[in-house]
Amino acid sequence: MEAKINKRLVAGANMPAPDDNVLTNTQEAVYQALSRLGYSEPVYEVLKEPLRVLTVRIPVHMDDGHVEVFTGYRAQHNDAIGPMKGGIRFHPNVSLDEVKALSIWMSLKCGIFNLPYGGAKGGIICDPRTMSLGEQERLARGYVRAISQIVGPTKDIPAPDVYTNPQIMAWMYDEYSRIREYDSPGFITGKPIVLGGSQGRDQSTALGVCFCAREAAATQGRKLQDLRVMIQGFGNVGSNAALLLNEMGVKVIGISDANGGIYDENGLNVQELLDKRDSFGMVTNNFSHVMTNDEFLVQPCDILIPAALENQITAKNADKIQASIIVEAANGPTTPEADEILHEKGILLIPDVVGNAGGVTVSYFEWVQNNQGMYWTEEEVNQRLETMMVNSIQNILHTAKRYQVSTRMAAYMVGIKPFAEAIRWRGWV
């Protein structure tokens, strides 16, 4: 039986005040979700912060001979359900609060998709766009050495994230195997196929986004192929989403990267864009007429897919958004204030903890395959992913209708409940 909510919690005695901080906003949403579900204050106190956070300093010998020391983090949100799982990002804007918030979001994704994991996240403050491959390798290996005591196939399983890829996962896998002195493919996911990676992993997040777009369109009685799509961000997820949607017969009318966006209401040549894209997702530098990202987000379209960074749709531009459906492929692209505006406008929003969860779902498949030593075809992986995505989306939509809440709040309620129940059964509260 769920515990009754404490009146002090309802009154907001310990409720965090919302601001532009991604961690504070996440805690506020977790608080509201637990309140609506009727859980007690100690449950929130356990779940509002990661159980463990490690800060590391990583000295790296750079190509010019000097030693640069990088700061990295690993946040482990909760292990009441099982080992923790989450990506590692290389980015100059990595912060401790961001990594904490991302670890909570990973828990929510795992809860929504019934994965036997808790959330985790890692990050290193760096700009890999200015680093050689050798420098990136030394940094990746140094990070694994620094966190090796708290990660592993039964503790915490890393994966790729912003500006990391199968090559970086391979270096990390090799370093961990050297430290442990045995081969351990289940330590990390997103690996190259030859090292135990899963078929379908590279496109899994983007494919999940496509399933979300299709299901969202269906709820409005529309066919995905009849809709016009804009994608903000042309990294791994954005570029693959453009490719997959284009192959499905969908007209992609806008794409953007860090420099700005290009837009054509008659449709863009996706393959041409992919041919011109560099390894960091930059493509607009090949075009003379580029609009700002602020201008890009408010162009007319049917489906908008934010696939870049946090806080892109805000109170300043939310009322100008012309899409009828938003599928969040990035983590935290919409601020809470903007969320309320979009909800009031009747825009159907598929939140990030559902929209981009294809990656962690197929990472789970990879871990299962590593552990059992038997590997699936790409068709099997994609079929399993589609089933889990469709079931989870329908569950979120049903919960939103049942409790008369936004789809984001419904996602938080569905995602946090397994953890509240697990810590209750374990006797933590």
Task: Compute the half-sphere exposure of residue 291: CA atoms within 13 Å on the CB side of its CA.
Answer: 15
The residues, ordered by sequence, that sit 6+ positions from 73 with a Cβ below 8 Å of its Cβ are 53, 54, 55, 56, 94, 96, 99, 121, 122, 123, 124
The DSSP bridge partners found for residue 54 are 74
Residue by residue, DSSP assigns 82-104 as SSEEEEEEEETT--HHHHHHHHH
Active site residue 121: yes
Other Cβ atoms within 10 Å of 386 Cβ, number: 16
Residue 89 tokens read as 């990002």
**Residue 266, number of CB atoms within 10 A of its CB:** 7
* CA separation for the pair 339, 406 (Å, rounded): 9
> Given CA atoms 159, 247, 382, 323 in this order, what sign does their dihedral have?
positive
What is the Cα–Cα distance from 98 to 86, expressed in whole angstroms?
13
> Phi first, then psi: what are they for 8, rounded to 5°?
-65, -35
**Minimal CA–CA distance to 339: which of 378, 303, 312?**
312
Q: Which one of the listed residues 100, 109, 121, 191 is annotated catalytic?
A: 121
Identity of the residue numbered 191: K
Query: What is the C-alpha to C-alpha distance for residues 272 and 283, in angstroms, rounded to an integer?
Result: 10
Residue (of 133, 121, 7) closest to 60 by Cα position: 133
What letter represents residue 134's amino acid? Answer: G
Facing residues of 84 across strands? 118, 156
Using CA atoms, how far residue 186 sits from 90, 142, 169, 365, 371, in Å, is 22, 20, 12, 11, 6
Q: Which residues contact 246 (CB under 8 A, 6 or more apart)?
A: 252, 270, 271
∠ CA 35-39-44 to the nearest 5 degrees?
A: 80
DSSP SS3 for 118: strand
How far apart CA 210 and CA 396 sit, in angstroms, is 17
Q: Catalytic residue numbers? A: 121
